[in-house]
Structure 1
Amino acid sequence: MDTRGFYDELADRYDRVYADWDASVTRQGRALDTLLTAALGPGPHTVLDNACGIGTQSLGLAALGHRVTGTDLSPASVARATREADRRSLPLPVAAADMRALPFADASFDAVVCADNALPHLLTAQDVTTALAETRRVLRPGGLLLLSTRPYGELRRARPRSEAPHVHQGPAGRTVSFQLWHWHADGERYDLELFQLLPDGEGWTTRVSSATYWALPEEETAAYARRAGFADPLWHAPADTGFHQPLLAARHPGRWTG
């Protein structure tokens, strides 16, 4: 399954990956807001959530007053993000777009968020470089990139074959989600199978979605950011930010005048 198909098929049940999605929306929004404020000063700021999915980070930031726009490769995901924003009475313009070709003018945003391990769906050096260059293009001088991935330096060494199950409690019952990882011979890329056991009356329905990732270690991701023109890339650990993944912060090299 290609990346768009993976997220299109998953959009209506992506929230079930989390034990409590609404709590995660709030927690992640606060963590990102703290980093935005520390780097750019008090907001609100204009933020592009690049690979917004169903709105996990977008909704949290919009609820804190930031002017957020969401884009994602998956039309089904951005449609779900719109529904979730409407349900919360939050402004959230969205568009289906590829992060390698963003539909915005130069210098449109104070900050770009690319979270939840989205960049590693790009499997070649050219695609990663192109996406990061596009991100820098739409940032204002001095603007901020916040990018999160899994801790791939550690994971490349360990090459785990699975991830522990997560249980989501919803109105219809419990959903169990777990992952199997199949590492390629190059030791860098892996195919992920996401299994979800969905409550179905007295039994279960099983849904399986598959995607491929490039497990770039932190130092390599930072090097790609520098090659794309970013300044001062610095990784922040989850223990320091309260975010669930390591976060790379990097700046557009121009002078911030916000």
Structure 2
Amino acid sequence: MKDSVLKFYDAIAEDYHLIFVDWHLAIARQSEILNNIIQSKLGLSSTHNISILDCSCGIGTQAIGLAKHGYDVSATDISAVSVKRAEKEAESYGVKINFGVADFRSLETDVTGLFNIVLSADNAIPHLITDEDLYKAFQNMHAKLQYNGLLLVTIRDYDAMVKEKLTTTQPKVFDDGKRIAFQVYDWAGDGKTYTVNQFIMLEINGEWKTTHNRTEYRALLREEINKVLKATGFVDVEWHFPVNTGYYQPILTACKN
């Protein structure tokens, strides 16, 4: 994982909510869908005493929503700036979450205890450019799960994306035209990695302010991920797609045997 990843999330932490139409609504909607997936996979009658480690929590989008559903949530991220904001947001929501700073390649040593569920959402895994880092991350997630625990990952549909080779997203216009967010993609020559340029434009007192941050991703195909999951001890790998779930990204589930 390159230094640009940490720099990106540190820089965007205070403005991250601005890429959503309504961040608070996203918290509610995403947690509802993730909760439904968890319930269907684990057959739970109650969320009481069910522990979750959100190991790429960002500013708390999923962690806060799942805590409101009654899960016992711990949340970590490589960006201390993002974690600090997540703590503030969790307090405003009145939910208790155990926060910490950790790299998901070293969870086994950085985080204490075992969990019923390990979650990594919002396309965080593809920041791992090398096979070595990818294996290391899934090994550490496997190590933090209890027996029969559930891994939950959300990721862009790279199987479709690598075929289309999109170079930009459609600008999202919010707040009666006073807020605009969009991304520009710079693809590497081999088509396996790309740089995201995130632009957020705000009109303030008649003047426009533009922020630009960039980071690198690996276009991870489902076959590649499935291979690593199998090699690191996961079973019952299943992909759940937006057409069926209503979630904005494909959701991967797998179990620790």
Question: What is the TM-score with the length of structure 1 in the denominator?
Answer: 0.94
Residue of structure 2 equivalent to 1:35: 37
Identity percentage of aligned residues: 34
CA contact (8 A) 1:196 1:206 kept: yes
Whole-Å Cα distance in 1 between the matches of residues 172 and 82 of structure 2? 21
CA contact (8 A) 1:16 1:168 kept: no
Whole-Å Cα distance in 2 between the matches of residues 23 and 222 of structure 1? 32
Read off the aligned partner of 1:75 and give its amino acid letter. Answer: A
CA contact (8 A) 2:117 2:145 kept: yes
CA contact (8 A) 1:18 1:167 kept: no
**Structure 2 residue aligned with 1:232, among 230, 236, 248?**
236
Read off the aligned partner of 2:105 and give its amino acid letter. Answer: R
**Structure 1 residue aligned with 2:154, among 131, 148, 151?**
148
CA displacement, residues 177-197 of structure 1 (integer Å, 9 cap, x when unaligned): 100000001111001100110
Matched, 1:101 2:106: yes
Read off the aligned partner of 2:251 and give its amino acid letter. Answer: L
Residue of structure 2 equivalent to 1:213: 217
Matched, 1:60 2:62: no
CA contact (8 A) 2:102 2:111 kept: no
Please give the residue correspondences for 1:85-100 in structure 2 after superposition, counting only pairs within 5 Å.
Answer: 85-100=90-105
Please give the residue correspondences for 1:1-258 in structure 2 after superposition, counting only pairs within 5 Å.
Answer: 2-40=4-42, 41-42=44-45, 43-44=47-48, 45-102=50-107, 103-105=110-112, 108-169=114-175, 174-253=178-257
SS of 1:2 mapped into structure 2:
helix
SS of 2:103 mapped into structure 1:
coil
CA displacement, residues 85-144 of structure 1 (integer Å, 9 cap, x when unaligned): 0001110111111000112246x1000110100000010000000000000000000000
Whole-Å Cα distance in 2 between the matches of residues 168 and 68 of structure 1? 31
Whole-Å Cα distance in 2 between the matches of residues 130 and 169 of structure 1? 42
Deviation at 1:167, TM superposition (A): 2.9
Deviation at 1:219, TM superposition (A): 1.9
Unaligned 5+ residue runs, structure 2? none
Unaligned 5+ residue runs, structure 1? 254-258
SS of 2:191 mapped into structure 1:
coil
CA displacement, residues 141-192 of structure 1 (integer Å, 9 cap, x when unaligned): 000001011000010111100011123439xx83211000000011110011
Read off the aligned partner of 1:117 and give its amino acid letter. Answer: N
Query: Which of structure 1's runs of 4+ aligned residues deviate more than 2 A?
Result: 167-170
Read off the aligned partner of 2:127 and give its amino acid letter. Answer: H
Q: Identify the structure with bigger relative contact order (alpha carbons < 8 Å, sequence gap 6+).
A: 1
Taking a change above 3 Å as real, the CA distance of residues 73 and 168 of structure 1, as seen in their structure-2 partners, is farther
CA contact (8 A) 1:181 1:193 kept: yes
Deviation at 1:71, TM superposition (A): 0.5
CA contact (8 A) 2:106 2:137 kept: yes
Read off the aligned partner of 1:231 and give its amino acid letter. Answer: V
CA contact (8 A) 1:11 1:77 kept: yes
Deviation at 1:198, TM superposition (A): 1.7
Question: What is the TM-score with the length of structure 2 in the denominator?
Answer: 0.94
